[in-house]
């Protein structure tokens, strides 16, 4: 599953106090996505549903403070053919509580209900799930190149129970 810089966000984001200062002492916190998973199921006749989970880490920087931070994450299913096109996207805002001991914290999130019409069998391998952190005015990407993951080839998706 691709995670990284692209049309839907970044795999790692630094949030800084002053956007024009690139020094490490300006860092409030850094957020990175570490692990992803997805599950595809037929949820109705000719309707495919995708459930996506992620785990990430937030690290408090020298200019950061303990408390709750807002982590906006974009989930997208794309047709990665010619021309590429978004099939379904969703923006989720995750609340992460930074610890007072100045360390880091793991967080996880699962999004369900990314549903769309079943693609043609010839196009199924070109449907890709993307996950990306959304950058704000006070953030900068630590650009990690996205990797591509394709769904495994099966004769038919499993049915939801």
**CATH of residue 40:** 2.60.40.10
pLDDT at residue 92 above 90?
Answer: yes
Q: Could you tell me if residue 34 is inside a domain? A: yes
Report pLDDT for 40: 92
Number of structural domains the chain divides into = 1
CA dist 161 and 158 (Å) reads 9
Residue 148 lies in a domain: no
In a domain, residue 156? The reply is: no
159 lies in some domain: no
In a domain, 6, yes or no: no
pLDDT digits (tens, 9 = 90+) for 74-88: 999 999 888 989 999
Per DSSP bridges, beta strands 85-98 and 104-117 are unpaired
In a domain, 145, yes or no: no
Q: Is this model's pTM higher than 0.85 or not? A: no
The fraction of the chain above a pLDDT of 70, given in percent, is 77
Please check whether residue 111 is in contact with residue 129, taking contact to mean a CB–CB distance below 8 angstroms.
Answer: no
> Does pLDDT of 16 surpass 70?
yes
């Amino acid at each position: 599953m691709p995670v990284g810089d692209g049309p839907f966000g970044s795999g790692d984001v630094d949030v800084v106090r002053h956007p024009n200062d690139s020094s490490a002492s300006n860092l409030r916190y850094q957020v990175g996505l570490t692990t992803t998973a997805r599950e595809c199921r037929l949820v109705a006749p000719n309707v495919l549903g995708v459930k996506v989970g992620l785990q990430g880490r937030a690290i408090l920087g020298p200019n950061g403070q303990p408390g709750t931070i807002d982590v906006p994450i974009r989930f997208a299913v794309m047709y990665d053919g010619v021309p590429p096109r978004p099939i379904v996207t969703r923006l989720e805002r995750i609340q992460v509580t930074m610890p007072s001991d100045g360390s880091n914290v793991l967080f996880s999130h699962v999004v369900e209900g990314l549903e769309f019409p079943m693609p043609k069998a010839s196009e199924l391998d070109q449907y890709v799930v993307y996950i990306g952190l959304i950058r704000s005015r006070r953030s900068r990407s630590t650009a990690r190149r996205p990797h591509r993951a394709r769904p495994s080839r099966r004769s038919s998706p499993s049915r939801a129970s």
